[in-house]
Amino acid sequence: MNAEHLLPAENASGAERNNHANKGTAYYYDAKLYNQSGAGHFFTTRYGGVSGANGNVFNASFGKEEPSRKGNVVENFKIAARDHGLDISRFTALSQVHGETVVNVTEEIAGARFGKPGLVIEADSMITRLPFVPLMTTHGDCLPVYLYDRGRAVGMVHSGWRGTAADISGKTVGAMAREFGTDPGNVFAAIGPGICGDCFEVDYPVARVFEERFPEVDAVKWDGARGKFLVDLRAVAVYSLVRAGVRRENISAPEVCTACERNRELFFSYRAEKGRNEGLMGAVIWLEK
C-alpha cells in the first residue's frame, strides 16, 4: 500500500498516518477522490474504536457487534464523525443482502440505523443529493465503490461477487442519472480496499458467471497449484463503470487488497480470517454542498 493512501483525518495531504501501530484511529482515503472538491469520504481500518476484547477495535458492522456490547458500532462512528466534522445522526446505513438494489436516500430515510436506529433497509447501494448525509456500507473483502457527481450527488456501493456480477456499480450510475440528471461522463469513481484477483479463489460455477457475463474482461484465471479459479472483481467493476458511461480517466482503482498478508494488520478480511474476523470496515461518502 502506498503511503499516500493512509492519511490522517485532519491532514489528508500529509504523510502516512502511523499511529495504527499503537491502536490509534486510522482511516484510508483514496488520494484522487480526496482531491475532488465538494465531497468527503473515508474507509475505516481495524484501529481506533471501542469494540473488541480490549476495547480498541473499530468494527463498522452491526452484525458483528458483541451481544454484551451493543451500541459499539454507533460509538465507533461517533469517533469518525467527530474526526470528520459530521453529525452522527445523519449517518445512513443499509442491511446488506448481496443484491443489486439501489436506494435513493431522502430525508425520510436519512439516518437509517444511526439517527433512526429502528429503520432497517435491505439493499447494497445508496445514492443521495442531500448534503452532509454520510452514506455507509460495510466491507470484509467486498469492494467499496465511491461515486461522486461533482456538486450534484454521491453514491456508495457494496460490491461483493454477486453484486459485481449483477453490475451493481453500473446500475448505481444509472440510478443517479434517472434520479438526479447525472451525466455519467461527469462522475468520478473510486474503488477502495477489497480482495484482489490473486486472493479471490472461487469454484468453477462462480468463475463461469464472470466468463459468461463479462467476456470482454480478462477477469478469470486458473491456478493449478491451488486447484482454484481466481476472479479479479476490481477489473470487472471498472469495466461496469466504463460501460455505464464513466470515463476511464475518472476512475481511481489502486489495488489495495484486504486479504493479502501485507495488509492483514490494517484490515479485516473474511476470507483470510476464515470468517473469524471480529469486525468489518466501513466505507463512507458524503456531499459537502
What are 59-110's pLDDT values in tens digits?
999 998 877 677 999 999 999 999 999 999 999 999 999 999 999 999 999 9
* Residues 141, 233 contacting (CB under 8 angstroms): no
pLDDT at residue number 12: 35
Mean of all residue pLDDT scores within the chain: 90
- Judged against a pLDDT cut of 50, whether residue 174 lies above it is answered with yes
pLDDT at 287 over 60: yes
What CATH code would you report for 3-195+250-287? 3.60.140.10
- pLDDT (tens digit, 9 = 90+) per residue, 161-172? 999 999 999 999
> Are 105 and 129 spatial neighbours (Cβ–Cβ below 8 Å)?
no
CB atoms near residue 193 (< 10 Å): 27
Instruction: Indicate if the pLDDT at residue 207 is higher than 60.
Output: yes
Q: Tell me: pLDDT of 241 over 70.
A: yes
pLDDT of residue 120: 96
Q: Give residue 11's pLDDT band: very low, low, confident or very high (50, 70, 90).
A: very low
Nearest in space to 60 (alpha carbons), one of 94, 103, 34: 94
The tens digit of pLDDT for each residue in 223-233 reads 999 999 999 99
Confidence of residue 209 (pLDDT cuts 50, 70, 90): very high
The C-alpha cell 468453477 sits at 204
The C-alpha atoms of residue 107 and residue 102 are separated, in whole angstroms, by 16
The more confident residue out of 11 and 281 is: 281
| Pairing status of strand 102-104 against strand 228-231 | unpaired
Which of the four pLDDT bands, split at 50, 70 and 90, describes residue 135? very high
pLDDT score for 9: 37
Model pLDDT, residue 276? 84
- Pairing between strand 228-231 and 201-202? antiparallel
> What would the pLDDT profile of 14-64 be if each residue is shown by its tens digit?
323 333 333 467 899 999 999 999 999 999 999 989 998 788 899 999 998
Output the DSSP codes for 60-83.
--GGG--GGGTTHHHHHHHHHHHH
